[in-house]
Amino acid sequence: MIGAVSGSFIGELLGSNMNALKFLKSTYTIGMSNPMLIDFKVLAVTFGINFNINIMSIIGIVLAIILYRKY
């Protein structure tokens, strides 16, 4: 999780500050567009999950796995 969050953060910083690296800022959304709602009249439960993935978050995950196995 730390690798994904830090990679996404670095991708946003680099994509915002450098025009040549703007592609690092673009994200791809994977998940449910409309959350699932279960209504029991007394209790309403909503289920939904979305992942916003960019290239740097994938690189951060790979680096975190490598560092975890090494140390």
Cα–Cα nearest to 27, from 47, 6, 57, 68: 57
Angle at 50 between CA 47 and CA 55, to 5 degrees: 165
Please tell me what DSSP assigns to residue 54.
-
The answer to pTM > 0.75 is no
Name the residue type at position 44: A
Q: What is the total residue count of the chain?
A: 71
* DSSP code per residue over 3-42: HHHHHHHHHHHHHHH-GGGGGGT--EEEE-SS-EEEE-SS
Per-residue pLDDT of 13-71, as tens digits, reads 998 888 888 888 888 999 988 899 999 999 999 999 998 899 999 999 999 999 999 98
Query: Domain span at residue 28?
Result: 2-70
Number of domains in the chain: 1
